[in-house]
Amino acid sequence: MAPVVPSDRDLRLDLFRGIALWLIYLDHIPSNIVAWVTIRNYGFSDATEIFIFISGFTAAFVYGRAMRDYGFVVSSARILKRAWQIYVAHIFLFAIYLAQIAYVARSFQNPLYAEEMGVLDFLQQPDVTIFQALLLRFKPVNMDVLPLYIVLMCLFAPILWMLLRNATLALAASVALYAATWEFGWNLPAYPAGGWYFNPFAWQLLFVFGAWCALGGADRLKGLLRSRVTIGVAIAYLIFAFCITLTWHFPRLAPLVPKWLAEHIYPIDKTNLDVLRFAHFLALAAVTVHFIPRDWPALKSKWLRPAILCGQHSLEIFCLGVFLAFAAHFAKVEISGGVPMQVVVSILGILIMVAVAWLLAWYKRATERKGAARPKAPDADLAGGEA
């Protein structure tokens, strides 16, 4: 039986993608006490897993119906067009971000900015570095997510084709690639050395799993997610991860972790999407879906609207968050690094993100009213779909 492509948008996706964007922003500010509210401090996974999963889900939601209605060639062209748009956005972000860092480093005669943000190679040999950046091999600090998404989108057309014909086989192929990546150490090369911080061969599993859920997988899991046993296991695993994470923040607790257990779970690798991280995300997702249904009334409340707006304009808000994180770091270094400043830059940054998202939504509504006969413009979210 062919997978059913959903016809209406799940506001939970926008809500949690917006929250993920806020958490990523907070995590990108070095030595930020407000970042203690983010999930990375209380378990194995963080906001990146949420972001990639929802991106895969949304991509399938947007392009699944197009592939079914117009065929492989047309839908592939749309997917590649969106990948190109994100690539252009990434290069634009790269240029402005480097200009921002270089200007601050020179103006305040502090070369540590360039070193901390990973752009020292650019300042020393800009010609080579720019070429490597165009190949997505050179990525300054905090700019690893978009290249990962670009690669995943470039490969998404055949993946989506497989998902629409045999979703189980497509997911199994993704799992096999993930396992082979761990077995053979596959990764894409980075510049000046090493591999990608987010290994596409590993992180594709989360992206494909999100797409699989969008194309009927979530419906197949409904019975499992409603089970008290499943929720009990998920909560138990979250508690286990929380206890392990506590030992990272309080070294005196480290001896409480049995040696045999430490040998089996460490290192919990983010680059290759460690199984423990993936399982932690699944546990979070299971608990969230169980307690927050699709028709949750609060999704239409004004209190959650800011996060939903940010989630619906994820591409532009993510790019904005990269600039704001460096600006917050600059304010902490040059003005004050105290707790009050950390709180101010954290709250102010999120407010700016919300304001920009609201402005984008307002502009879209205004243009649609003036040109009602024209086709709808795509959202600024990563998949490029319509709200």
CA–CA distance from 94 to each of 50, 136, 146, 188, 204 (Å)? 24, 10, 11, 19, 23
* Reported confidence tier of residue 354, pLDDT bands at 50, 70, 90: very high
Taking residues 271-277, report their average pLDDT. 97
Residue 356 has pLDDT above 80, yes or no: yes
Asked, as a colleague might, if the bond just before 378 is cis with ω within 30 of 0, I would say no
| Helix (H) and strand (E) counts in the chain | 18, 0
Beta bridge partners, 195, equal: 189
Q: Which of 160, 166, 212, 216 is nearest to 7 (CA)?
A: 216
The position carrying tokens 């300042």 is: 123
Global pTM reads: 0.92
Mean pLDDT in the chain?
90
In whole angstroms, give the CA distance from residue 209 to residue 287: 17
First to last CA, the chain: 28
pLDDT range class, residue 362, cuts 50, 70, 90 = very high
Q: What is the rounded average pLDDT of the residues 346-369?
A: 92
Split at pLDDT 50, 70, 90, the class of 67 is: very high
Give 232's contacts (C-beta < 8 A, 6+ positions apart): none
Per-residue pLDDT of 221-271, as tens digits, reads 988 888 999 999 999 999 999 999 999 999 899 999 999 999 999 999 999
What is the pLDDT, as a whole number, of residue 377? 46
> Does the structure show a pLDDT above 60 at 322?
yes
SS3 of the chain: helix, strand, coil, percent, to 5 = 75, 0, 25
- pLDDT at position 386 over 50: no
Q: How much is the pLDDT for 383? A: 66
8 has pLDDT over 50: yes
pLDDT band at 107 (very low <50, low <70, confident <90, very high): confident
